[in-house]
Chain A
Amino acid sequence: GAVVSQHPSRVICKSGTSVKIECRSLDFQATTMFWYRQFPKQSLMLMATSNEGSKATYEQGVEKDKFLINHASLTLSTLTVTSAHPEDSSFYICSAITIFGGSTDTQYFGPGTRLTVL
Chain B
Amino acid sequence: GESVGLHLPTLSVQEGDNSIINCAYSNSASDYFIWYKQESGKGPQFIIDIRSNMDKRQGQRVTVLLNKTVKHLSLQIAATQPGDSAVYFCAENTGRRALTFGSGTRLQVQP
Q: A residues touching B (Cβ–Cβ < 8 Å)?
A: 4, 6, 32, 34, 36, 42-46, 49, 91, 93, 95, 97, 104-107, 109-112, 114
A112–B39 CA distance with the chains assembled, in angstroms: 11
Picked from B41, B45, B46, B103, the residue with its CB within 8 Å of the CB of A42 is B103
In the complex with contacts A43-B89, A44-B89, A105-B32, A93-B44 CB distance below 8 A? yes
By the criterion CB–CB under 8 Å, are A93 and B41 in contact?
A: no
CB distance from B90 to the nearest CB of A (A): 10
Most chain B beta-carbon contacts within 10 A, residue among A32, A44, A104, A114: A44
Picked from B32, B43, B100, the residue with its CB within 8 Å of the CB of A93 is B43
Residues of B within 8 A of A34 (CB): 97-99
* A–B pairs, 13, beta carbons within 8 Å: A6-B43, A34-B98, A42-B103, A44-B101, A46-B98, A46-B99, A91-B41, A93-B43, A93-B44, A95-B99, A105-B49, A107-B34, A109-B46
Residues of B within 8 A of A45 (CB): 101
A104–B98 CA distance with the chains assembled, in angstroms: 10
Residues of B within 8 A of A112 (CB): 41-43
CB distance from A54 to the nearest CB of B (A): 14
Residues of B within 8 A of A106 (CB): 46
A114–B89 CA distance with the chains assembled, in angstroms: 19
